[in-house]
Structure 1
Amino acid sequence: MPHSITFSKITWSTPDGHTLLSNLDLSFGSERAGLVGRNGVGKTTLLRLVTGDLTPQAGTVTVDGTLGFLRQSVQVGPEETVASLFGIVEALALLGRAARGEADADDLADADWTLEARLAAALARVGLEAEPDTPLSALSGGQRTRAALAALIFREPDFLLLDEPTNNLDRDGRRAVIDMLAGWRAGAVVVSHDRELLETMDAIVELTTLGATRYGGNWSAYRARKALELSAAHRDLADAEKHAAEVARTMQTIAERKARKDSAGRRKKARGDLPRIMLGAMKERSELTGGANARLAESRQAQAAEAMTAARERIEILQPLTVTVPPTHLPASRMVLRMEGVTAGYLPGNPVIRDLSFAMTGPERVAVTGSNGSGKTTLLALATGQLQPWQGSVRLFTDVAMLDQRVSLLDPALSIRDNFRRINPGADENACRAALARFMFRADAALQTVGSLSGGQLLRAGLAAVLGAATPPPLLILDEPTNHLDIDSIEAVEAGLRAYDGALLVVSHDEPFLEAIGITRRLVLGAG
């Protein structure tokens, strides 16, 4: 019997009364469905409604099948192990007693002799090597995510509910999760901004403030359909503008014709060659015609304006961000950064980076990759002077700006505008506003306090403050810039970086992102 998840007329609001979901109808079958949409639109809320963590104010959620839910962050207790995450501590202990010859007949009857093999198979499916008694606190955040996912597939649920499963995973971890989902044959609802992962989906469901729209096929099919919708929206806007102009011309012609007839009537009246009763009838017809024409004009113009507004709104929703950035004037032969024989770390005798030599020249775009713990963030700290090497030398030959995952360059207590003026003291108000507008912070949007921004808005504001300067810094350093961003925000960041002509040093595991910004070279840490 097929399994399903069905939302019927669902309405849900935040505690402060903000409506996220309104009269929503949506269903999922035994398919792999990617759930996409802007941050804050309600994707995680949708998953929590399925699990029963949240209760809708109206409507019903019907689940036919068993569920496995992976949250964005895996919380662990100090005593928890991999086995406790799987819920098999007692079952493994029983097998241990049996192996030592300490089990009685009842124990042997209850023993699951396939347990260890199934545990190993589940861990292998997510590419994790760990023993059952490994403390979860000893695993990295990415390893804990993989262990939690293995525990879900170990139970073989009818539906996997995954909330950003590849966040904080290194390249190997992302690949393991992508491969696991590519071979998953039950149902899965996956909230993700990982475009590689979304390529394995059977359908994409886009959640917006207007509701949910289903697109058959994977991410590429969805994007192709969205491109067609954008083209259609531009045509509709052009047609609506043309129709509005035609309406205006037609109503102007009618008004001019009536004015000429009224003028002729006034001339006849002045000559006195028409009977009084006919003059009264002509006046009445003129007034009726004038009123009808006014009502007709108002109706047609309102319809034309409504059509233009609807077309513009569709384009505002679908139109990707494109930005222009002032040039850095970085010469192709200019040395930007040089590290020679660098060894560094945080604990004496335990170097994170050992004997590294590396240089950047001109507007190179270098991706720093490697497994979790290989020293990527350490390298960025060395490049910016936040960390001093134990041995070797680090020389920076240009101005630099760094945007970390928290965009700590910005003061959260200040507005976007005030941060821009603080970072670019030579910019006047007009230059500030123009730069922020290029990154979609127009008018009052530029007055938002940085501490109130979403992750995507925060990074976009940081890019605006750095790249919007009259002369941006020749070197920009980014640490995992796409983590926790929705796809619209990622594409906005990509647009800004494509327009930048300086040097880039980027830590990221997001391959589509690295491809989109034109990476020219890679520095792979932990690979000798």
Structure 2
Amino acid sequence: MSFVPSVVLHDVSYTWPDGIPALTHVSAAFGRGRTGLVGLNGVGKSTLLRLIAGELTPTGGTITTTGVVDHLPQDLTRRRASTVADLLGVGGVVDAIRAVERGEVDQELFDRIGDDWDVEERSLAALGAAGLDLEGRGLDHRASALSGGEAMLAALVGVRVRRADVALLDEPTNNLDADGRERVHEMVRTWRGALIVVSHDTTLLELMDDTAELREGGLSIVGGPYSAYRARVEAEQAAALGALRAAEQSLKTEKRQRVQAEERIAHSERQGRKDAANRKYIGAVVDDRRNSAEKAQGSRRALMDDKVAAARRAVEAAETRVRDDDHITIRLPDPGVPAGRRIARIVGTDGREFVMQGPERVALTGPNGAGKTTLLRQLLGDGPRASGLGIARADVAVDRIGYLSQRLDSLDDDASVLANVQRVAPRVPAGELRNQLARLLVRGSMVDRPVRSISGGERFRAALAQLLLADPPAQLLLLDEPTNDLDLPSVTQLVDSLANYRGALLVVSHDRSFLDRLALTTELHLGRDGALTPVHSG
């Protein structure tokens, strides 16, 4: 069967307005099935999707797409939508249909509707199939009443309802609980049309027909799901490491032979000087022998130098094929939280109470919409309060609290990354902050760029820097879905960083593999009814 592409990239480059290159000479073709797009944070995955969607224009090269392209952005839950219809991306069509039903006959309304007269019915059916309960309010339901996970699920339903030929999904399972992720997985299994998915959800990536990796300006596509891609990378790395070891051994051999040759040359030169001193040969013969020896020795030196240089080039070439990816590496200061100190209290609707003491590490889990984020905001003094049963509630007993929200809304989009961090650490010298930011992979020009111009993963690291580099350090860290925008290697480094934190930690996450690595003291499950149930105690 011949390959029929849905998206073709030819020598595509893109440079940000400030002159920073995002993509350079990328060429590839995506098929009409499901493709997972992977790569390290900041490599340009989201930028590539925006280019394919036509939201950005390449500064070089061309992009050709087949049919209508639809894009679900990574930062969707941070964007403002007034109603579920707007979140689905069908608000304009629904408004036009209602205007026509009221008797308006403007041709622009009919053009906007096209063949989508049944869009409201299809949308409600798709939302119901995805398990979203709009409490009978239909598409006029307030988008702000949905949790981050519910908003993402509704937006994904909207992509399907709009029936694009090519769908671009950027981290579609972010913020989703286990049930929501399974619903997304089922949608993807039955997806019609071309699909390009950026994700670090390995279960989702296993549903792909192909896997594309964006790395160091190149895009390579491997047939098969994420496991096939990983197997290929591991095989290539094993071969690359073998080639590097062989090249390094060859360089050592050439250097040793170069030393041995130099010793022989030195010995020959000493013998020549000795013969001349002893007048073993007449002067003309000595001069002739000396000239011949110098030429031969020069040739040998040049030959050995060439061999050493060639061996060194072989090592350098082998090194370029070995991956050495950077990850987050930072040590956290001691906030001085003694064991036994009362930190916070959480009370469920059933009256069950949990008191957090000292440097405990607690996970708060449960379905979307249960109120986990609301409890975190209560601890910050920014959430709804209740004096009795009926709503889960929380209170805090320390002053210094660090909060990393799902929306990463602690950042000023118009300010630079450095300025955002300086706001929470005004007494720390800028040079020291730059060094600390480098350990969080916030380096070079990125430090001085406006937050709005950086990638989702880079935005996460900027928000994390605000949290971890605050002066004085937080006694309690509240993390709301911290792994959503991280690549898989960086999740490991985040775990390592948090392992060094000596304060109290309260984490909301649906990422089970991440939670399993945090050395939790306790896991609390918050049900949809607000009941609080201890699941695990360390």
Shift of the 16–466 alpha-carbon distance from structure 1 to 2, 3 Å rule, reads closer
Cα gap change, 1:389/1:4 in structure 2, threshold over 3 Å: closer, same or farther? closer
Change in CA separation of 1:64 and 1:417 when aligned onto 2, cut-off 3 Å? closer
1:517 and 2:518 aligned: yes
Measure the CA separation in 1 of the matches of 2:439 and 2:507.
Answer: 23
Match of 1:85 in 2: 90
Equivalences for residues 71-110 of structure 1 within 5 A: 71-74=73-76, 81=85, 85=90, 88-89=93-94, 93=98
1:359 equivalent in structure 2: 355
Alpha-carbon offset, residue 316 of structure 1: 5.3
CA shift in 2, pair 1:358/1:215, >3 Å: farther
Give, in whole Å, the separation in 2 of the partners of 1:323 and 1:232: 32
- Compare 506-515 and 141-150 and name the one that shifted more: 141-150
Q: In structure 2, do the counterparts of structure 1 residues 439 and 285 end up closer, same or farther at CA, with 3 Å as the change threshold? A: farther
Deviation at 1:301, TM superposition (A): 3.3
CA distance in 1, matches of 2:515, 2:397: 23
1:102 corresponding residue in structure 2 = none
| 1:367 CA drift (Å) | 1.9
182, 205, 212: which one aligns with 1:205:
212
Structure 1: any 5+ residue segments left out of the alignment?
99-109, 343-352
Instruction: Give, as a single letter, the amino acid of the residue that structure 2 aligns with 1:523.
Output: H
Please give the residue correspondences for 1:336-485 in structure 2 after superposition, counting only pairs within 5 Å. 337-339=343-345, 341=347, 355=351, 357-360=353-356, 365-383=361-379, 391=387, 394=395, 396=397, 402-404=403-405, 405=408, 413=418, 454-458=458-462, 461=465, 465=469, 476-485=477-486
Distance of 1:315 and 1:222 partners within structure 2: 16
Q: Report the count of equivalent residues.
A: 496
What is the rounded CA distance, in whole Å, between the counterparts of 1:86 and 1:511 in structure 2? 36
Between the aligned residues of both structures, percent identity stands at 34
Contact 2:39 2:45 in 1 (8 A): yes
CA contact (8 A) 1:194 1:510 kept: no
1:25 to 12, 15, 27: 27
Q: Which amino acid aligns with 2:56?
A: L
- Higher mean alpha-carbon deviation, 318-327 vs 301-310, is at 318-327
2:295 aligns with: 288
Aligned match of 1:181: 188
1:255 to partner: Cα distance? 0.5
RMSD over aligned CA atoms reads 4.8
Answer with 38-47 or 389-398: which moved more: 389-398
Moved more, 280-289 or 256-265: 280-289
Provide the residue aligned with 1:349 in structure 2: none
Question: Which residues of structure 2 form unaligned runs of 5+?
Answer: 104-113, 388-392, 532-538
For the residue of structure 1 that corresponds to 2:90, the secondary structure is helix
Aligned counterparts of 1:437 and 1:17: Cα–Cα separation in 2: 21
Q: Secondary structure at the match of 2:169?
A: strand
Q: Take 1:338 and 1:244, find their aligned partners in 2: how far apart are those partners?
A: 61
Report what 2:11 is aligned to.
Answer: 9
Distance 1:461 1:77, change over 3 A: closer
- For the residue of structure 1 that corresponds to 2:24, the secondary structure is strand
Moved more, 333-342 or 172-181: 333-342
1:54 equivalent in structure 2: 56
Offset, 1:227: 4.0
Aligned to 1:345: none
* Residues 1:440 and 1:228: Cα distance change in structure 2 (over 3 Å): farther
Q: Which residue of 2 aligns with 1:123?
A: 127
Report the secondary structure of 2:212's partner residue: strand
1:25 CA displacement: 1.7
Compute the displacement of 1:260 (Å): 0.3
Q: Structure 2: which amino acid aligns with 1:515?
A: D
8 Å contact 2:81–2:144 — kept in the other structure? no
C-alpha distance in structure 1 between counterparts of 2:502 and 2:274, whole Å:
72
Query: Could you tell me which amino acid in structure 2 is paired with residue 148 of structure 1?
Result: A
Change in Cα spacing, 1:501 to 1:300, as seen in structure 2 (3 Å) is farther
Matched residue type, 2:165: D
Contact 2:364-2:526 at 8 Å conserved across structures = yes
2:518 is matched by which residue type in structure 1? I
Q: Please, which moves more after superposition, 504-513 or 450-459? A: 450-459
- Kept in 2, the 8 Å contact 1:37–1:487? The answer is no
Residues 1:78 and 1:86: Cα distance change in structure 2 (over 3 Å): closer
Residue in 1 that maps onto 2:491: 490
1:85 maps to a residue whose letter is V
**Residues 340/462 of structure 1: CA separation in 2 closer, same or farther (3 Å cut):** closer
CA distance in 1, matches of 2:190, 2:85: 27
Q: In the superposition, relative to structure 1, how do residues 295 and 233 fare at CA in structure 2: closer, same or farther (>3 Å)?
A: same
2:280 alignment partner in structure 1: 273
